[in-house]
Amino acid sequence: MNKIKILVADDIQETRDVVKKILSLDENVFEVVGEADNGKTALELIPKIKPDVVLMDINMPILNGLEATEQITEQYPSVIVIMMSVQAENEYLKSAMFHGAKEYIIKPFNYESLTETIKATYEKHQERQGKIIAHEIKKREGRVITFFSSKGGVGKSILALNTAIILSKDEKKKVLLLDMDLQFGDLSMLVNQCHQKTILDIVSDEALTCYEDIKPYLYKYTENLEMLFAPEKPETEERITKESIQKIMELLKKEYDVIIVDTGVNYHENTMCLLNYAEKILFVSTMETVSLKNTQLGMRIMQSFDYHPNKVKLIINRFTTYYGVNKKDIEEVFKEGIFAMIPEEENTVNISVNTGVPFYKLNEYNRKKICRALEGMCENLVNRELR
C-alpha cells in the first residue's frame, strides 16, 4: 500500500508540529509532504508536492481554510480536504461541507481520532473513485434516475411519476417507479392506490432473496410500468435499513431498463445509498428564493460526494417570471446550467393530484406546455444523457 501523502495547513506552528509528531508514529501509512501557515501557501504547494490529503485549519490569515478548500475542490478535485477546527457546532460542519471538505475533525485531537479519520476518509474516497471507474467500464444494468430536492413542496414526486409514464411509452423499455420517500411518500395517492403493498411489506416478509419474491409487492400500472410504494406510516421508516434497500436495488436493476426513484428530502443513510445508485440525480427546485437557496447549498454538498460532474442535473419546476426571477438570474447562480425548466400550470397539476390521475394520462392536458417540457426532458435523458 502506498503511503498517504499529507499537507498540513495551520497558522500555528505548534499545531503543525503536533500533527506531524502524531503521524510519524505510523510512518508506514502516512507521509507529511508539506506544511503551510495560510490557505494561499497551501494552494501554491499542491501542484508541487501532490498530496492525497490536506489537513486544513479553518481560521488562517491571507486566505482562510474555507476559501482555500473551495478553490482546492475546484482546481484539484482528486485532493481530499479534512477540515480542522476548535468549533464543533453543526453550522461549522455544514459550512465545511458546503466548501468541499470531505470530513471534519475537532481540536484538540489524539492519535486515534486523527489517524482513523484520515484513513477512513482516504479509503472511502478511493472506493468512490473505484466505483466511478468501474461504472464506466462495466456493462450497464438498469439505469437509475433519481429525483431529489433539499426542500419539500417543489413538485418532485409529481415530476417523477409523470416522467416514469412518459419513459414507459417506449414499448421496448420496462420501467419501474420507486417511492423511496420512506416517511412521507405519496406516490400511491397520486395514482389513487393508497392500500397497495409497500416496501415495508417486502422487508417485513423478508422477501429479499430474488426478484420473484419482490414481484408480488409491485403495483402494475401499465404493461410497461410497475410501481413500488412507500410505507403508509412515517414511524415505520426505521424498520427499512440500508442493507435491505441495497438488496432490493441489486435485484431490481437486473429486471428493468429504467428505474425512477423518488427520494426523501434529507441526507439520511438510506437516501445517500439511493443517490449512490443513481446514474442521474435530477435536483428539483422552484423559483422561490428559499428553494433556490436550499438548492444551491444542496448542489454544493453533492459536489463533496465525488460524483461525476455530469451526474447531478438541476430541474426548475413551476417556472414563471411572476416571482421577479428569470432564467438568466438562475443561470448566474448555478454555473452548471439548467437541465430542464418545467412551466407553472397550477390548475393542471391540482386537478391531477385531486383526481389521482397523472396529468400526462389525461388526454385534454397532453397538449399543455408542462407535458411538452417533460417530454423534452425525457428525450434528453434517454437520447443524450444516459447513453
Domain definitions of the chain by residue range: 4-136, 140-385
Cβ 304 vs Cβ 73: under 8 Å: yes
Give 80-94 pLDDT, tens digit per residue: 999 988 876 567 667
Question: To the nearest whole percent, how much of the chain has pLDDT over 70?
Answer: 93
Place of cell 500500500: 1
Neighbours of 74 (CB within 10 A): 10
Position 134 scores a pLDDT of 57
Long-range CB pairs of 330-337 (<8 Å, 24+ gap) are: 330/287, 330/292, 333/292, 333/296, 334/295, 334/296, 334/299, 336/299, 336/309, 336/312
Taking domain 4-136, whether its CATH number is 3.90.1150.10 is answered by no
Digitized pLDDT (tens) for each residue of the chain, 387 residues in all: 689 999 999 999 999 999 999 999 988 999 999 999 999 999 999 999 999 999 999 889 999 999 999 999 889 988 999 998 887 656 766 777 888 888 888 888 888 989 999 999 998 888 877 666 555 544 446 799 999 998 888 999 999 999 999 999 887 889 999 999 998 999 999 999 988 999 999 999 999 999 999 999 999 999 999 999 999 888 888 899 999 999 999 999 989 999 999 999 888 889 999 999 999 999 999 988 888 889 988 888 888 887 887 899 999 999 987 767 778 888 888 878 899 999 998 888 998 999 999 988 876 655 678 989 999 999 888 764 444
User: Which is it for the CA torsion 30, 31, 35, 40, positive or negative?
Assistant: negative
Cβ 258 vs Cβ 278: under 8 Å: no
* CA of residue 68 relative to chain centroid, distance: 24
| Domain 140-385 CATH superfamily | P-loop containing nucleotide triphosphate hydrolases (3.40.50.300)
Neighbours of 230 (CB within 10 A): 26
Position 85 scores a pLDDT of 83
Cβ 80 vs Cβ 54: under 8 Å: yes
Cβ 328 vs Cβ 334: under 8 Å: no
Alpha carbons 74 and 45: distance in angstroms, whole number: 16
Query: b/e map of 125-142 (b: 16 or more CB within 10 Å)?
Result: beeeeeeeeeeeeeeeeb
What type of residue sits at position 44? E
Peptide bond into 47 cis (omega under 30): no
Matching fold, domains 4-136 and 140-385: yes
39 CB-side CA count, 13 A: 21
Element (H, E) at 58: none
Position 139 scores a pLDDT of 47
The three-state secondary structure class of 99 is: coil
What type of residue sits at position 271? T
Position 125 scores a pLDDT of 85
Query: b/e map of 296-322 (b: 16 or more CB within 10 Å)?
Result: bebbeebbbbbbeeebbbbbbbbbeee
Pairing of strands 312-319, 175-180: unpaired
Side by side, the strands of the sheet bearing 4-9 are 30-36, 4-9, 53-57, 80-85, 103-106
C-alpha cell at position 273 = 445509498
Position 306 scores a pLDDT of 78
Position 15 scores a pLDDT of 93
Provide the phi-psi class of 153: left if phi over 0, else alpha when psi is between -120 and 50, else beta.
left
What type of residue sits at position 154? V
The three-state secondary structure class of 289 is: helix
* CA of residue 299 relative to chain centroid, distance: 8
